[in-house]
Amino acid sequence: MKNLDLRGAGAVFRYTVQQHYKNRSVIIFLLFLFLGSLAVFPIRALVGGKAVTETAIKKVYLRNETGFMIEADDIRKDQVFSGVEIIETKDDDAALAKTISEDKTAAAAVMVIDQEKMRFDIRTNYGADSDVKGGDADALNEVLSSALHQSLLRMQSVTAEQEALLHSKTYSQVSRVSDYLRSAEETGTDTHVFANLFYCYLIIMLNTLAMSYVFQQCMEEKVSKLVESLLVSVSPAALMLGKLLAVTVFIFGGLGLVALGLFLSFRIGSQMTDPTVLTDMVSGLFNVDFTKLHISGATIALFLLCTVLAYAIAASFSAIVGSCCSRTEDTQQASLAVVLFIMIGYLVGAMVPMFENDAAYNIVSLFPLTSIFSAFPNFVCGKISAGVFTVGLLLQAVTVFFLIKTAGRVYRMMIFYRSAFPKPKQVIRMLREEKAAARLAAAAGKEDSHGE
């Protein structure tokens, strides 16, 4: 590396970035990406997360056939229905239908007990041209259900404390005693699996994106026959570095834009709904306890560091493979090689949490190919120690260094290569030959200088 000439890398970087963002389709794509992420929370609020704060229902005709007394106060206890008039009725369905058809602010609720199925049925109806909407009727149904529940409890003389106890949730855990002893620091399996899958998914998306961009950049000068004109002014290493840095900006710029869109979306969505709606939804779906993920500034910094290292490994490996491409058709074979490389790490990384084995956690967090997927979630979920995590990151950094160095050599070696996509064996042989030639040339140079 001592003779590495990186002059011109800055100019290559600036030019590549400038040309990328001058492309109209890129700007349109980024705009869609931003608007898409900006819409996530508001759409969620509009579709189902909106908390009801008022109702169009002014009168409720209640036909209670359950045999249990429903207190009007239990209904009005709900802030939304505090001003609603409750009219108990024994009218049949036809009469009720007539009543609510004539009154646009009325709803009719019928409560029955189904002895066969051993359940209560609550049915709320509103007129065809009514001001009352489905959301209002849903909210009324929930309140009536709660009022019926209160009535049942009252009948059994249940106190508020007893009721709270009855409603308390159950948390179950199965673990080995060693895991139990450190359980305060550790995250449950479900949360770990979720965090791991989410992170693996993010990294594989990032790496696939990096691969296609890097291929495109490695081949651009070959395809446009500009290589020789450029290499008079800039070394292959500087050319490669400038381009890889530019790809980093494209990818992380895109991710940043999505993150900004989501942040703004959350702020906008919070104005429209309770912000816990989304977290509750994810939490319920995957049985995830977000508090156990210890999300903080330090976690975010570590997340960024790990993401950059994972990207750098995939990008530099893609650069090695991409340097061997001479024609657009070669990218098919090249993609296969890179995807295979990434998928091995992804599959192992994604599966390991399911085995719940400490040795496996440590191994996948140390080996660079798998640690780019696993080290971060394993550390955040308390499955590996800080020491193992640090060693894992150091090994990743060393791998990045060697991959970039090799990418520079392969790029220089293959820059004039115009044949079919080479086999790995062929590239290794060429690298060996090049190294031997360099040694020979260096030795000859030394002899010359001694002679002089």
Partner 1 sequence: MGFSVRELFKKYGDKVVVDHLSFEMHQPGVYALLGTNGAGKTTSIRMILNMLAKDGGTVEWNGGPLSLKTCNVGYLAEERGLYPKNTLMDQLMFFASLRGLSRSQAKERIRYWAERLEATEYLYPQQTGAKAPKPKKADELSKGNQQKIQFMLALLSDPELLILDEPLSGLDPVNTDVFKSIIHEEIDKGKYLIMSSHQMATIEEFCTDLTILNRSKTVLQGNLAEIKKSYGLINLFVKAEQELRPLIEQAGITILSSVGFSYQCRVTGEEQANALLRTLVTQGIPLIAFELREPSLHEIFVEKVGEAHEES
Using CB under 8 A, list all residues that contact partner 1.
5, 7-8, 11-12, 14-15, 18-19, 23, 220, 224-235, 412-413, 415-416, 433-434, 437-438, 440-441, 444-445, 448
Residue 421 and residue 324 in contact, taking contact as beta carbons nearer than 8 Å: yes
Q: Which is nearer to partner 1, 19 or 287 (CB)?
A: 19
Q: Which is nearer to partner 1, 32 or 416 (CB)?
A: 416
Tokens of residue 29, six digits: 């794509």
List residues bridging with 340 in a β-sheet: none
Work out the number of other CB atoms within 10 angstroms of the CB of residue 149: 15
Residue/partner pairs of 253-257 with CB below 8 Å, 24 or more apart: 254/30, 254/33, 254/209, 255/206, 257/30, 257/33, 257/34, 257/37
Q: Which is nearer to partner 1, 52 or 227 (CB)?
A: 227
Q: How far is the CB of 444 from partner 1 (least distance, A)?
A: 6
The C-alpha atoms of residue 168 and residue 148 are separated, in whole angstroms, by 19
* CB neighbour list of residue 98: distance below 8 Å, 6 or more residues apart: none
Beta sheet of 85-88, edge-to-edge order:
85-88, 59-64, 106-114, 119-126
Tokens of residue 23, six digits: 């492309």
User: Among positive and negative, which fits the CA dihedral 363, 364, 365, 370?
Assistant: positive
If 0-12 CB within 10 Å is exposed, 13-18 middle and 19+ buried, where does residue 6 land? middle
Q: How far is the CB of 30 from partner 1 (least distance, A)?
A: 18
Q: How far is the CB of 424 from partner 1 (least distance, A)?
A: 18
3-class SS of residue 274? coil
Q: Which is nearer to partner 1, 20 or 58 (CB)?
A: 20
Q: How far is the CB of 401 from partner 1 (least distance, A)?
A: 22
Q: How far is the CB of 360 from partner 1 (least distance, A)?
A: 44
Residue 343 and residue 349 in contact, taking contact as beta carbons nearer than 8 Å: no
Q: Which is nearer to partner 1, 28 or 155 (CB)?
A: 28
Q: How far is the CB of 257 from partner 1 (least distance, A)?
A: 23
Q: Which is nearer to partner 1, 29 or 201 (CB)?
A: 29
Q: Which is nearer to partner 1, 9 or 96 (CB)?
A: 9
- Strands 106-114, 119-126: pairing is antiparallel
Q: Which is nearer to partner 1, 234 or 348 (CB)?
A: 234
Q: How far is the CB of 250 from partner 1 (least distance, A)?
A: 16
Q: How far is the CB of 32 from partner 1 (least distance, A)?
A: 21
If 0-12 CB within 10 Å is exposed, 13-18 middle and 19+ buried, where does residue 340 land? exposed
